[in-house]
Chains A and B, each alone.
Chain A
Amino acid sequence: NAGVMQNPRHLVRRRGQEARLRCSPMKGHSHVYWYRQLPEEGLKFMVYLQKENIIDESGMPKERFSAEFPKEGPSILRIQQVVRGDSAAYFCASSPQGGGNTIYFGEGSWLTVV
C-alpha cells in the first residue's frame, strides 16, 4: 500500500529556471496539500487542492508559484524563475476527504537553487 509519493526527492536549479515537483497521493485519497519547510523552520501551508480544483491557496506566494491537481496524473507544484529564497523542502500530503481526517505526508522534495 504505497504512501504519498513525491518526485524528484532532490532537485537543483539555477536561478531563473523552473522547478516542477510532483506528488501522487495515497490510493483512494482525493485531497492534496503542499507545505514548504524553510531551513530551521516548521512547515507552512501553501495550497490545498482537490481534483481539478484549488480549494485554498492562501499560503502560496502571489507570483511565480502555481499548483494543479488534474483529473488524471499527479499534482504538480510549479515554481517559475526560481530564486535562492525558494530553496526549501516541499512536502506533499494527502487525505481521503477534507475536514477532520488524518493527513499523510510524503518524503518531501528538496529544492536547492544555485
Chain B
Amino acid sequence: AQSVTQPDIHITVSEGASLELRCNYSYGATPYLFWYVQSPGQGLQLLLKYFSGDTLVQGIKGFEAEFKRSQSSFNLRKPSVHWSDAAEYFCAVLNTGTASKLTFGTGTRLQVTL
C-alpha cells in the first residue's frame, strides 16, 4: 500500500529565507505526486503536481518541487518565504489503480517570523 511521510511536523523560518519541506513516498508504480496548502479553517489549494516528464515542477506562489525517484522524495521549495506562506502543507500520492484516491502525509505546519 502507498504511504507518504512528512518528517517535519512544524517548521519556522524567517521571512525572506529559503524553505524546503520534505516528503517521502512509498508507491509501487510511477507515482503521481501533489503538494497542497491549507490555511486555518480553509480547504486545500493545489500548489503543484508531478505526473511525468521534467522532475523539477513549478507551481503557484513561487513554489517548486523536485521528484527524485532514487530517494523516493518530492520535496517542496521556495527561495524566499513571505509571511503569507504560513499555513499547513500536505504532500500526497495518487493511487491510479481502480480507485483513484490520494494518500496524504500528516502535514508540515509552517510558521514565518518577521
Contact = CB atoms under 8 A, between A and B. Distances in A.
B101 A33 contact: yes
B44 A91 contact: yes
Q: How large is the interface on A (under 10, 10 to 19, 20 to 34, 35 or more residues)?
A: 20 to 34
Contacts, number: 65
Interface string A32-62: 0101000001111100100000011011000
Given A33-B101, A45-B101, A98-B100, A107 B106 contact: no
A100 B96 contact: yes
B104 interface: yes
A31 to B, nearest CB: 7
B43 A95 contact: no
Q: Which of B51, B90, B98, B99 has the most CB of A within 10 A?
A: B99
Q: How large is the interface on B (under 10, 10 to 19, 20 to 34, 35 or more residues)?
A: 20 to 34
Contacts of A45: 101-103
Contacts of B32: 100
B51 to A, nearest CB: 7
A102 B59 CA distance: 14
A34 to B, nearest CB: 10
